[in-house]
Amino acid sequence: MSLNIPNAPNAGLFKGGYNNYDSEDGAVLRNIDACQAIASTVQTSLGPYGRNKVVINHLQKMILTSDAATILRELDVVHPAAKLLVMASQQQEAEMGDATNLVVILAGELLKKAEDLLRMGLKTSDIVQGYERAQKFALETLEELEVDKVEDMRSQEELSKAIRTVVASKQNGDEDALADLVAEAVLAVLPKNPSMFNVDNIRVVKIMGGSLRQSRVVRGMVFPKEPNGSVKKVQKAKVAVFSCPLDISQTETKGTVLLKSAKEMLDFTKGEEEQLEAAIKEIHDVGLRVVIAGSTVGELAMHYFNRYGILVIKILSKFELRRACRVVGATPLVRLGAPMPDEMGNIDVVETLEIGGDRVTVFRQENEGTRTATLVLRGATQQYLDDVERAVDDGVNVVKAITRDPRLVPGAGATEIELVKRIQALGETTPGIPQYAIKKYGEAFEVIPRTLAESAGLDATEVLSRLYAAHHKGEELVGVDIENDDDTGILDVDKRGILDLMVTKHWAVKLATEAARTVLSVDQIIVARQAGGPKPPGPNPNWDED
């Protein structure tokens, strides 16, 4: 009897329908190709002149942005190796809120250099070992490149200095106005101990129309709706927050009532009305003039609130309700009735304004040290406003990072060129095979100034040769001049004030190297058969044809 030899490897080991990509099939090189594809997608979006992408996600929503984290989040990447790069960028977003593009581009370039080494005949273990040593050296070198630091967290000028470069990479041309707005908002809510600063305390409200120059900061919260009752403005008032419905209480059981006359019909709801009026009168008598409702407000309750001159606004989002409690300093109540003195909050001004045709309600604290500040952003289109909001978000995250480490390093690719120079020098003095990997690791950093020059329409090769020449002379602060003011394509970044936060770069280098090393360490991908039956039909691939 002949042996039954299975034709696929491991056929008796896994359930039928699995796919196996082995190192003999060039799995490592395939993974590197997939990662390079994802890196090249976001590479053109780097820097102030980075191109925007239009992403139409699975819900057919259009997103227009140059923010790598947003682009990658909206793209459903399925390749497992490319997913590692996406995860690294998401980790950078969670940790620092900025430089997500740097992580993906650098990881993609490190893998591209690793491919050259693999074709030369090096083993992946040699490359990983070399990359590890080079990363350690790069992070130590980064510490030595400090050129400035944010001395005073409470100075708007000092904060703007760090925020400006980050905002410029998203909204080039408007960086000064936006940096000042973000710095003003941050200083309004900055606690006595800056390390306790919470990013969530800076809110954004987007109102279409007008121009970005008409944006402003409000010390407090802005709700894009007007109050529910007839009272629209209150000053120096006590505030109560109710998370329960403000209405006649409903009975749990159903019943039938037989009414014999019109008088009985009029008297039928009198008891409930009196009970509701008593509760609202009680609220009025303790001095409350503003009620924030987290649930429904009945018509009858609204009538009594108007009668007693109490402003009522409905906020259905529990997150917004929680923030409103923080602004006014109140405790949310789960029963209708007068709150205790320590459960009430205070607000200086509640007013309804009209901004660009939209009616908004502003809760404003006039005194120092408000708990929340809101940026009211103006712009022509919703997509533009969304992108400005992302730039603001990056700026606020930078402030949070400054509270951890205020040191700044040169921007505009100057830091990267200096790293190339120093890591290459380390490679020259390293004996054995790892030197090839160390040199290639250094070369990978060249991608940042090259991309900045290309996106600004400069001759990248010429600009890079001038940068290298300057850095070899010891001019460490020379970077890419995207405006190309003096036709050389290079500039002194310190004089122009283009500075990046060191801690952001530190994390980006760390995560990019980690992602590249992880991808290189994979030699086999085993994909199980997908669960479920046949897939539903996908979207029409020719959706953009007339």
How many residues in total does the chain contain?
546
Does pLDDT of 323 surpass 60? Answer: yes
Does pLDDT of 26 surpass 70? Answer: no
**E strands along 224-336, which residues?**
234-242, 288-293, 311-314, 332-333
Q: Which domain holds residue 42?
A: 19-147+410-527
Does pLDDT of 2 surpass 50? Answer: no
CA–CA distance, 511 with 102 (Å, rounded to integer): 10
- The more confidently predicted of residues 480 and 14 is 480
Identify whether 174 is part of a domain. Answer: yes
Supply 50's token pair.
Answer: 């980075």
Q: Which pLDDT belongs to residue 5?
A: 45
Residue 394 and residue 440 in one domain = no
Q: Which pLDDT belongs to residue 180?
A: 80
Identify whether 75 is part of a domain. Answer: yes
Q: Which domain-ending residue is among 378, 405, 432?
A: 405
Q: Scanning the structure block, which residue is given the tokens 């070399």?
A: 130
Residue type at position 534: P
Q: Which pLDDT belongs to residue 545?
A: 63
Picking from 351, 342, 335, the residue whose alpha carbon sits closest to that of residue 290 is 351
Picking from 419, 474, 466, the residue whose alpha carbon sits closest to that of residue 441 is 419
By mean pLDDT, which of 256-265, 409-418, 454-463 is the weakest? 256-265
Residue 142 and residue 178 in one domain = no
State the pLDDT confidence band at 428, using cuts at 50, 70 and 90. Answer: confident
Phi and psi based region of residue 497 (left: phi greater than 0; alpha: psi -120 to 50; beta: remaining): left
Q: Which domain-ending residue is among 335, 370, 405?
A: 405
Residue 221 and residue 345 in one domain = yes
> What percent of the chain stands above pLDDT 70?
85
Picking from 479, 506, 499, the residue whose alpha carbon sits closest to that of residue 410 is 499
Does pLDDT of 98 surpass 80? Answer: no
Average pLDDT over residues 398-410: 80
CA–CA distance, 103 with 286 (Å, rounded to integer): 57
Contact 31, 40 (CB under 8 A): no
Does pLDDT of 7 surpass 60? Answer: no
Q: Which pLDDT belongs to residue 147?
A: 77
- Residues near 263 by Cβ (< 8 Å), separated by ≥ 6? none
Average pLDDT over residues 384-396: 82
Picking from 292, 274, 366, the residue whose alpha carbon sits closest to that of residue 333 is 292
Identify whether 542 is part of a domain. Answer: no
Q: From residue 17, how far is each of 26, 177, 531, 534, 538 by CA, in Å?
A: 21, 58, 11, 14, 22
Identify whether 513 is part of a domain. Answer: yes
Q: Scanning the structure block, which residue is given the tokens 């030197």?
A: 435
Q: Which pLDDT belongs to residue 487?
A: 64
Does pLDDT of 1 surpass 50? Answer: no
Q: What is the pTM of this model?
A: 0.78
Residue type at position 442: G
CATH number for the domain spanning 480: value is 1.10.560.10
Supply 58's token pair.
Answer: 């699975």
Does pLDDT of 423 surpass 50? Answer: yes
Supply 339's token pair.
Answer: 């709150």
Residue type at position 153: M
Q: Please write the tens of the pLDDT for every residue from 147-194.
A: 777 777 777 777 777 777 778 777 777 777 788 888 888 887 777 777
CATH number for the domain spanning 226: value is 3.50.7.10
Q: How many domains does the chain have?
A: 2
Does pLDDT of 20 surpass 70? Answer: no
Residue 213 and residue 328 in one domain = yes
Contact 494, 410 (CB under 8 A): yes
Q: Which pLDDT belongs to residue 113?
A: 84
Handedness of CA 333, 338, 341, 346 (dihedral sign): positive
DSSP letter (8 states) at residue 67: -
Residue 438 and residue 353 in one domain = no
Supply 290's token pair.
Answer: 């503003």
Supply 461's token pair.
Answer: 């090769």
Q: Which pLDDT belongs to residue 133?
A: 84
Residue 400 and residue 475 in one domain = no
Residue 359 and residue 395 in one domain = yes
Identify whether 283 is part of a domain. Answer: yes
Average pLDDT over residues 71-85: 79
Q: From residue 501, how far is each of 92, 236, 338 by CA, in Å?
A: 14, 42, 50
Average pLDDT over residues 278-299: 78
**E strands along 428-543, which residues?**
478-480, 490-492, 499-501, 525-527
Phi, psi of 349 (to 5 degrees): -140, 130
Residue 203 and residue 117 in one domain = no
Identify whether 543 is part of a domain. Answer: no
Per DSSP bridges, beta strands 216-223 and 373-379 are antiparallel
Identify whether 541 is part of a domain. Answer: no
Residue 47 and residue 127 in one domain = yes
Q: Which pLDDT belongs to residue 546?
A: 53
Q: Scanning the structure block, which residue is given the tokens 């590197």?
A: 32
Average pLDDT over residues 219-233: 77
Q: Which pLDDT belongs to residue 240?
A: 81
The per-residue pLDDT of the chain, averaged, comes to: 77
Picking from 287, 203, 205, 299, the residue whose alpha carbon sits closest to that of residue 247 is 299
Neighbouring-strand partners of residue 106: none
Residue 169 and residue 300 in one domain = yes
Residue 271 and residue 183 in one domain = yes
Identify whether 331 is part of a domain. Answer: yes
Contact 214, 242 (CB under 8 A): no
Q: Which domain-ending residue is among 405, 430, 449?
A: 405
Phi, psi of 34 (to 5 degrees): -65, -40
Residue 350 and residue 462 in one domain = no
Supply 436's token pair.
Answer: 């090839």
Average pLDDT over residues 302-329: 79
Does pLDDT of 4 surpass 50? Answer: no
